[in-house]
Structure 1
Amino acid sequence: MTQDRRVITDEAAGTVLPAPRTPSPRAAPALNWGVVAPGWIAAQFVEALQKHTGQKVVAVGSRDAGRARAFADRFAVPRAYGSYAELVADDDVDIVYVASPHSGHFEQAMQAIEAGRHVLVEKAFTRNAREAEQLIEAARKRGVFLMEAMWTRFLPHIDVVRQVLESGLLGEVHTVTADHGQQMDPDPAGRLFAPELAGGALLDLGIYPVSFASMVLGPFSSVTAVGTKAFTGVDGQASIVVTTGSGAHGVLNTTLFARTPTTASISGTHARLEIEGPFYGPATVRLIGRDNEVTDLFVPPQRTGGLCYQAAEAARCIGAGRLESELMPLAETLRIMQVLDGVRRDLGVAFPGE
């Protein structure tokens, strides 16, 4: 989103929220998908594709052949590979979905790009901006599609938010708030507490409020962060204030230590939007006037299977010959990774090998 907002009169309080323009996921061209790293998020993704789209999952790859076979049997996937190299070499695979921990994103996405496959990479895109920049450069050189799997960007309620911002219905936007906190058991073997797996709150949970604020406000002119480390040295909690050239603020929080409301809001001079928790999934959006009364609300058409929308967006882009998505541009993905790098510097957090 740009900073240019069309300001309208106070009669906006009676306006009805627009309907989403999001195409049906079933209408997207069908591609053959290969899945890297058959864990929990990969299972959610494949289930969403099989239930809500015409996409076909034709192969799964893991370093553990037995794990790949069990996943393939569970979802009736034709081929299971005991290595990622075998999966990306499969000429029947059009696009690879990288669902591994953050520490593996760069290596596995690069392997797929070099094999000439289109790639959808789970959020956060990489461990850091340097890795993100290298993936983007490689994809452009190879001429393949590449996108961060920030599923929130493609959901119908977020298109409603986009239209409201584009119309100027809120007036001049001054404040964005968003949080994402989950109470995680302090398990030293757990992925979110493991430095070698690029664990911590920021890349797994905090990416959602940061990406939301970036979508609403555009590029940040300043980023300030404070935080608390977890017992393994990863970031356990971070509170972030971002500003823009126009003077708007974003107030963002993420934590592994407590379950937070996971809500978001956008406040302007005429009205505000409130998105119920979890704001990053299919959620109800409320338009609230200056009198603090709810003027209208949008209820999402479905509450489950939301990962299907990002797959449909990738398929539509590839079908149209586009190498990136306008809804989640690679330049913005890179900017967000740069913001996350800066927050980690403020918190004194680095990953092994950086």
Structure 2
Amino acid sequence: MPITFGTIGTNWITESWISAAHKTGQWRLHSVYSRSEEQARSFGSKYQCSNCFTSLDRFFGDGGLQAVYIASPNSLHYEQAKQALKAKKHVIIEKPATSTPDELDDLFKIAEGEGVFLIEAFRHIQEANYKLLQKIVNDEKRLGPIYGASFTFASYSSRYNNVLNGEVPNIFSLDFAGGSLVDIGIYPVTFAIALFGAPKTQTYVPFICQTGVDGGGMIILRYNNFGVQINNAKCYTSTAPCEVYGEKGTLTINGTTDISSLKHWSPKTKETEELAGSYKTVEKPNVNMEEEAVEFARIINERDSKAAAELEQISKIVVRVLTDLRLQNGIKYPTDKEESSLTMRR
């Protein structure tokens, strides 16, 4: 039987998740929450869903609801996920799951205590071509020792125009836990951490917007014998490819969010080989979320605690790294402590 799920958030990413989840046949939209009844009913009607709520208590109290997909503003994630988990609902939560490591630790403890799963929706590391990239990076015969990597995700946001006009959109607001790092930078940071593990240290040189958050900048993740350079931004665009440099060649991909091209250049043959497998074309603005929907359903249905624990570890490393990078540059959210020990957790 499909997993029945409800949604919090009525934007395009929620529509993309619903579409992908339904395509797998393993999920079924059961209910919709919105602060506006009109918005909830309008959104639900697109999917013939009439269970619409404006009360989170009633939403989570629905006995027919098994899981919740949360795609609300970043600052609301923690409290909403906490309430969902305490109601014994599985939670699929959009990145960033929380604003601080302490919040995330608390949510995972609650999930364990209630016997449900909490999964951060890092769709890009569930894609088949990313799995192929992981395999090659870990293949000493194919790539050899890693010398370094360069990852880019820099895309000018139309909402940055609002910032330039003196406005404060949610994603550029400190109060809503916004900024390029947690919205855009989290993709290449997660990409690197899932490939190479936790960095020894991390450094960020950002451009700070007039709203107080970062509009973009350069990140360096330092590992034992190599470094990863990350260019992330919402206030400018880069079309640079992403690369992993090894002793036996260079891997090149077109991006960290959708790997439609994966190539290996060999210094021995001086030739380039195309490696990427089949690629799912998804009509914009939707994105490829089918592979994560399949995997998350499998984890829940099979009670695969090992796979869930691996994703939990990635989420915990990512939030520690992002929090450290923020606090290094004085980017503080209301949830940050004045005297925080988080920067020590590297």
TM-score by length of 2: 0.89
In structure 1, the residue matched to 2:236 is 258
In structure 2, the residue matched to 1:325 is 307
Which structure has the higher relative contact order (CA within 8 Å, separation 6+)? 1
In structure 2, the residue matched to 1:13 is none
Deviation at 1:166, TM superposition (A): 3.1
Deviation at 1:323, TM superposition (A): 4.0
- What amino acid is aligned across from residue 174 of structure 1 in structure 2? Y
Deviation at 1:292, TM superposition (A): 4.6
Deviations 1:251-305 (A, max 9, x none): 012112111226422111001211113x312422112212553123314331215
Maintained 8 Å contact 1:146/1:324: no
1:289 to 255, 266, 270: 266
1:186 to 154, 161, 170: 161
In structure 2, the residue matched to 1:122 is 94
Maintained 8 Å contact 1:240/1:253: yes
In structure 1, the residue matched to 2:292 is 310
- RMSD across aligned C-alpha pairs, in angstroms? 1.8
Distance verdict in 2 for CA 1:82–1:313, change over 3 Å: same
Distance verdict in 2 for CA 1:321–1:347, change over 3 Å: same
In structure 1, the residue matched to 2:13 is 41
1:75-86 mapped onto 2 (5 Å cutoff): 75-86=47-58
Q: Which runs of no fewer than 5 residues in structure 2 stay unpaired?
A: 337-346
In structure 2, the residue matched to 1:14 is none
Deviation at 1:226, TM superposition (A): 1.1
Distance verdict in 2 for CA 1:324–1:37, change over 3 Å: farther
Deviations 1:82-138 (A, max 9, x none): 122222211111111111111111011111100001111101111111111111111
Distance verdict in 2 for CA 1:142–1:34, change over 3 Å: same
Residue aligned with 2:327, SS: helix
Task: For 2:309 and 2:125, locate their aligned partners in 1 and report how far apart those are by CA, in whole Å.
Answer: 6
Task: For 2:100 and 2:240, locate their aligned partners in 1 and report how far apart those are by CA, in whole Å.
Answer: 24
In structure 1, the residue matched to 2:246 is 268
Report the number of matched residues.
324
Task: For 2:168 and 2:201, locate their aligned partners in 1 and report how far apart those are by CA, in whole Å.
Answer: 35
Q: Which runs of no fewer than 5 residues in structure 1 stay unpaired?
A: 1-28
Query: Within the alignment, does 1:141 sit opposite 2:121 as a pair?
Result: no
Query: Within the alignment, does 1:300 sit opposite 2:278 as a pair?
Result: yes
Residue aligned with 1:298, SS: coil
Task: For 2:308 and 2:125, locate their aligned partners in 1 and report how far apart those are by CA, in whole Å.
Answer: 10
In structure 2, the residue matched to 1:241 is 220
Query: Within the alignment, does 1:172 sit opposite 2:145 as a pair?
Result: yes
Deviation at 1:324, TM superposition (A): 6.3
In structure 2, the residue matched to 1:209 is 188
- What amino acid is aligned across from residue 202 of structure 2 in structure 1? V
Distance verdict in 2 for CA 1:31–1:243, change over 3 Å: same
Task: For 2:91 and 2:82, locate their aligned partners in 1 and report how far apart those are by CA, in whole Å.
Answer: 9
Maintained 8 Å contact 1:171/1:269: yes
Task: For 2:330 and 2:223, locate their aligned partners in 1 and report how far apart those are by CA, in whole Å.
Answer: 24
In structure 1, the residue matched to 2:341 is none
Residue aligned with 2:307, SS: coil
Maintained 8 Å contact 1:228/1:347: no
Instruction: Could you list the structure 1 runs, at least 4 aligned residues long, displaced by more than 4 angstroms after superposition.
Output: none
Maintained 8 Å contact 2:26/2:297: no
Distance verdict in 2 for CA 1:201–1:342, change over 3 Å: same
Maintained 8 Å contact 2:153/2:238: yes
Deviations 1:72-91 (A, max 9, x none): 00122241111222222111
Task: For 1:87 and 1:300, locate their aligned partners in 2 and report how far apart those are by CA, in whole Å.
Answer: 39
Deviation at 1:40, TM superposition (A): 2.0
Residue aligned with 2:332, SS: coil
- What amino acid is aligned across from residue 71 of structure 1 in structure 2? F
